[in-house]
Amino acid sequence: MSVPGTTDTDSHQSVDEQLRQREAEIRMLLEVNHLVGSEYNLQKVFDQVAESARDLINADSVTIPILAEDQQSYTYRSAVGENADELLGSTLPSRRLRR
């Protein structure tokens, strides 16, 4: 069954591309799972997760914010890519609604 306006070749290429993307996602999750289970340096885990996510989604930059215990602010514990040096360690107020 073909999608109107596409050829069977287009459909197969699209499915192949989606399959490659899913395989890359699974590989990244397996790598992160292994790292979390074997690495005691939490900063290394954050950095690797950010780098893997950046590669996976082809982003210019990725940050990992950690919410403070009081939930009033968050701090960028990891940042990779554009402006990473400026963002890393920055603390910003959260916009969490108070109950």
* Residue 98 lies inside a defined structural domain of this protein: no
* Residue 84 lies inside a defined structural domain of this protein: yes
Spell out the residues 6+ positions from residue 61 whose beta carbon is closer than 8 angstroms to its own.
54, 79, 80, 81, 82, 83, 84, 87
Domain residue limits at 45? 8-93
* Residue 65 lies inside a defined structural domain of this protein: yes
How many domains in the chain? 1
- pLDDT single digits (tens) 36-85: 888 888 899 899 899 988 988 889 999 999 999 999 999 999 999 999 99
* Residue 67 lies inside a defined structural domain of this protein: yes
- pTM value is 0.68
Q: Domain holding 13: CATH number? A: 3.30.450.40
* Residue 2 lies inside a defined structural domain of this protein: no
- pLDDT single digits (tens) 11-44: 777 999 899 888 988 988 888 888 888 888 889 9
For 52, phi then psi, to 5°, come to: -65, -45
pLDDT over 60 (residue 97): no
